[in-house]
């Protein structure tokens, strides 16, 4: 709801769950999933028409939540990764959880009802995509550290 309230019309992300997908769909925000790498590259790919929206969640509920509730909030792995595009194609709002600097921008496309989680193949694919996104993030962070040490 927050993303839609900021005027975003598309969200580009690695993964989106059913709740976010339904909410963004209802708000008319397009969702593009399975994307990783630097934000700038994702935006360029989007502008060239290389990315297509989906109306399906690609991970189950609470996919990135870790192992349940914790007495110490704020710990654990963040899943969202920065970014967002406003209606005028400028960099709009994003979520930026965890150490995210790379991919984000989630959204929906039309009404969506996801009744079950992904198949084992989809789950494996999502984990591989997450691994790639985390590697890209780590490489980006290491590169920034190297630049700052010069």
What is the structure's pLDDT at 131? 84
pLDDT tens track for 1-60: 788 788 888 898 888 888 888 888 888 888 888 888 888 898 898 899 998 888 788 777
Q: How far apart are CA 2 and CA 6, in angstroms?
A: 6
Which helix (H) or strand (E) segment is 30 a member of?
strand 30-32
pLDDT tens track for 58-112: 777 667 665 444 444 444 444 444 445 444 444 444 444 433 334 444 444 333 3
Residue 8: strand pairing partners: 86
The two structure tokens encoding residue 126? 């999502």
Rg of the chain (C-alpha set): 15
Strand-by-strand arrangement of the 30-32 sheet: 30-32, 8-12, 85-86
Q: How far apart are CA 22 and CA 145, in angstroms?
A: 38
**pTM of the predicted structure, to 2 decimals:** 0.43
């Amino acid at each position: 709801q927050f993303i839609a309230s900021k005027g975003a019309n598309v969200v580009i992300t690695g993964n989106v769950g059913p709740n976010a997908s339904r909410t963004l769909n209802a708000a008319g925000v397009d969702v593009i999933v399975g994307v990783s790498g630097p934000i700038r590259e994702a935006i360029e790919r989007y502008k060239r028409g290389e990315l297509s929206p989906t109306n399906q969640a690609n991970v189950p509920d609470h996919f990135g939540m870790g192992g349940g509730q914790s007495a110490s909030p704020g710990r654990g792995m963040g899943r969202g990764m920065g970014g967002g595009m406003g209606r005028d194609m400028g960099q709009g709002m994003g979520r930026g959880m965890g150490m995210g600097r790379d991919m984000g921008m989630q959204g929906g496309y039309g009404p969506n009802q996801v009744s079950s989680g992904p198949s084992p193949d989809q789950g494996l694919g999502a984990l591989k995509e997450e691994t790639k996104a985390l590697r890209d993030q780590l490489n980006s962070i290491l590169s920034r550290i190297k630049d700052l040490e010069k």
